[in-house]
Amino acid sequence: MSSTETTAPVDASPLKTSASPAPDLSGERIVVVGGGMTGHRLAARLRAQDPDGTWHLTVIGEEPQQPYDRVHLSNWFTRHDGSMLAMDPTVWDDPRITLVTGDEATSIERDAQTVTTASGTVHPYDRLVLATGSWAWAPRAEGKDLPGSFSYRTVEDVERLAEWVSVRSGALGRPLRGVVVGGGVLGLEAAAALKGMDVDTTVVEFADRLMSVQLDQGGGEMLRLLMQDQGIHVRTGVGASRFSPAGDGAMGMAHLSDDTELAVDVVVFSTGIRPRDRLAREAGLAIGERGGVVVGDSCRTSDPAIWAIGECASFEGVCAGLIAPGNDMADVVVDRFLGGERTHVRADAGTKLKGVPDTEAAAFGDVNAISPDALEVSFVDPVHRMYRKLVMSDDAKTLLGGVFVGDIALYSTLRPLLGRELGADPSAVIAPDGGGDAMAGAELPDDATVCSCNNIDAGTIRHAVTEQGCHTVGAIKECTSAGTVCGSCVPTITKMLGQELAKAGIEVSHALCEHFGQSRAELFKLVEEGGQETFTEVIAAHGNGGRGCAVCRPTVASILSTLGAITGRRHNPVGRQLGSLQDTNDFVMANIQKDGTYSVIPAMPAGEVTPDKLMVIAQVAKDYGLYVKLNGAQRIGMFGARLEQLPEIWERLVDAGFQSGHAYGKSLRMVKACLGTNWCRFGVQDSTTLAVALEKRYRGLRSPHKIKISVSGCARECAEAQGKDVGVIATNKGWNLYVGGNGGMTPAHGKLLVEDVDETTLVRCIDRFLMLYIREADKLQRTARWVEEYPGGIDELRRVVVDDTLGIGEQLEESMQHHVDSYVDEWAEAVRDPERRAKFVSFVNAPGSADPELRYVIERGQARPAAPGETDTFPSPLAAYEHAASHPGTADADLETLGDAR
């Protein structure tokens, strides 16, 4: 039944307009049935918006606790204390508000306008608001009520669950076996809770993927991998048909719809919710076809004196199961009570998975691209367990939806842009190295919703910063309530705060992110002194809790990698513990390209390479059909390798004497050199030999950003040393050292640090400079910006590095020497580790298979990814080459012209 097909018209009673005087609530008795989050929201809003009113509000709750934060129910397991979930208790200090707990409302007498509770208390009302919420539905299955069966909905549920696991495992003398029926958000949280109690856990989901309502197929599959990585078993496409008892009558066996069985000691049902509408039904209110109290856009029911909000309300035939629409409904009702005309509108608030350690998933909008002419742009990295997809309008401008699994850093930035122009290339936004840069300067329009839970827009947050003096995220939360429910918008709030403070000329906090109050340099020092060796230890010792984010996780990984190398606490940057923290490119030791394949760029110190090694590169490229190109770093790049091919290619290169070129990492990329005195008639120093020595010294050095070094053999500067992070130029007396140069989008000339020094002094100065930069630079800060912003400028930097005025020179040199002594080639380690090597597969269910959507064409004699609309394409580079070889007349025009010219 729709909102317009009720027996009594919804919202038919006269409403006050904004031009009418506000209704007099003096002495009015307002009753809210439901002591949950929406009931608390209504009470808090009414109190705040009508501080001088003389009404009286009674909130009736059947649970013994005060209203609590059900969104973060899984947090109960961190301290086993329900009080940690309590919502603002100061609401109940208002003498106009009475909170009743532990007394269920049992009936409504509409004619008498009263509500009766289980205790027999009768509460008269002038206005009644139903906020009865929902109940956890479980399928009809034989044995589902056996001892050991639980829901996952209330504090009482989780308390009973924890008690059962403790007592039952003690009685059986072994860890329990658990099944969670339902693979939605709450089901996965329940599975994580069981796993945290050492229960061997299996998730059973009838749909073909996890979080089937929120995620698309690709996102669901990636989430499956993440859950399995946590040791949680996943069965999709099957249901639980019945349960049978163990010998003592408790839960013992789960029988599934595919005729398989699972031994089980505890079962948690999380198969959905149903609106709690019994009171409304028995009172004769209009009920929707799928249940729920029918309301219109003012949230008024078919009775003019009764409103319904939250999960018990059916609006446009749908009962929303999220807190955001419930909060909005509460705000609408308060506004209407006070004479406003605010209306409730269905809006996509997005969904974010919480309470599952090291597993992130979030989505919003049209995730399955069902909109007409919708365009899907996706990025998938199964090794790093990352899936990103944007759904765009057919012109690739308007954002229609998004799915993020494994790394949801972009979720908070992009969700407010739903239905708006993205303002950037969607491919660049979701690329591993592109998301931050592509959206770095983007500002949300004032009417864009930032906090969907509390319906707070960007303009409200800006006003809080600029007009109300809220200069911290905490102050913004307190002032606006944004970010106080699920917290997924906090990264966006943090970014907006920085933008507004910068505009006002106010110093912006240099905290690493919301999880760490310290700057990168401060955190580096703390970890160095504290000796922490894992991200978990670092955030426990120096952070604010949580699992970190896309900012702090790779930053901490870089710090741990560097410290491991320079202190003896050796950390492999792509090892099992740190690998999951770092950027995708760093993790798989290769840069991902536009078609999802990877580049392979071996190290060539100073650009030197022997003919024999050249032949190895040529043969590898030919065998795998790779595109070959010389890059600006004096390296030979091979492009088009599939993920599963990388270890094979590395192995052949390593056997030939090559090492990783680290073209993928925030580390030394290369040391470029001219010919110097070896061949050039103008050279005054041996630049090639020095460049080789420097590259071998600093290879693999993890740093805040990538580092490029160059050595020119004379003042003619053929190696372009002054445009590098570290530039060395030969003179007749020795070497000049320049620092802080860089090319790219914001070029900067290097600044002269020291001149005419011998090689020993030169290396000592470079050691000190690089190590000081690594210790003190901000996250993702290039040396150019760091040198520019160094207190006292280049002169002070010279005194610290060259003159050692702080007395830290020896320490910096020793740290660098530790790095040199501990270096191990990452490619060689990876190919010799069977467990790590086994992770390099594009499709976990079809190892060795290529992406069927990849297509290639021949251009200038080499295969490249086909552009949209191109014809005569081939499924692999090798197929393209084979076709070209068998059809010589189809060579492209460029090559024919070149041949004619010769």
What pLDDT digit, counting tens, does each position of 664-693 carry? Answer: 888 899 999 999 998 898 899 999 999 999
CA distance 511 to 807: 28
Average pLDDT, the chain: 86
Identity of the amino acid at 659: Q
Q: What span, in angstroms and rounded, lies between the C-alpha atoms of 137 and 657?
A: 63
pLDDT at 822: 87
- CB contact set of 755 (below 8 Å; sequence gap of 6+): 731, 736, 737
DSSP class per residue in 444-505: --TTSEEETTTTEEHHHHHHHHHTS---SHHHHHHHH-TTSSS-TTHHHHHHHHHHHHHHTT
Alpha helix segments (H runs only) across 802-842 = 809-822, 826-831, 834-837
pLDDT at position 14: 28
Which has the higher per-residue pLDDT, 354 or 300? 300
The three-state secondary structure class of 228 is helix
302-335 pLDDT, tens digit per residue, is 999 999 999 999 999 999 888 889 999 999 999 9
Coil, strand or helix at 304: coil
Q: Is pLDDT above 80 for 262?
A: yes
The tokens for 683 are 């050279």
Q: What share of the chain is helix, strand, coil (3-state, %, to 5)?
A: 35, 20, 45
For residue range 617-634, what is the model confidence (pLDDT) as tens digits?
999 999 999 999 998 888
pLDDT digits (tens, 9 = 90+) for 9-20: 333 232 233 333
Any idea what the Cα angle at residue 387 is, between residues 238 and 207, rounded to 5°?
Answer: 15
pLDDT digits (tens, 9 = 90+) for 691-744: 999 999 999 998 999 999 999 999 889 999 999 999 999 999 999 999 999 876
Q: What is the mean pLDDT of residues 643-660?
A: 93
Q: How far apart are CA 385 and CA 326, in angstroms?
A: 33
Mean pLDDT computed over 161-169 = 94
Q: Which contacts of 821-824 are long-range, i.e. CB under 8 A and separated by 24 or more positions?
A: 822/564, 822/565, 822/566, 822/568, 822/570, 823/565, 823/699, 823/700, 824/572, 824/700
pLDDT value for 113: 96
Res. 792: pLDDT tops 90? no
The fraction of the chain above a pLDDT of 90, given in percent, is: 52
Give pLDDT, residue 619.
Answer: 95
Q: What are phi and psi of 263, to 5 degrees?
A: -65, 135
Greater model confidence, 536 or 148: 148
Handedness of CA 537, 540, 543, 546 (dihedral sign): positive
Q: pLDDT tens across 368-427, in order?
A: 999 988 999 999 988 888 899 999 999 999 999 999 999 887 888 898 899 999 988 898
Q: How far is it, in rounded angstroms, from Cα 831 to Cα 650?
A: 7
- Considering the chain, what percentage of its residues have pLDDT values greater than 70? 90
Question: In this model, does residue 793 exceed pLDDT 90?
Answer: no
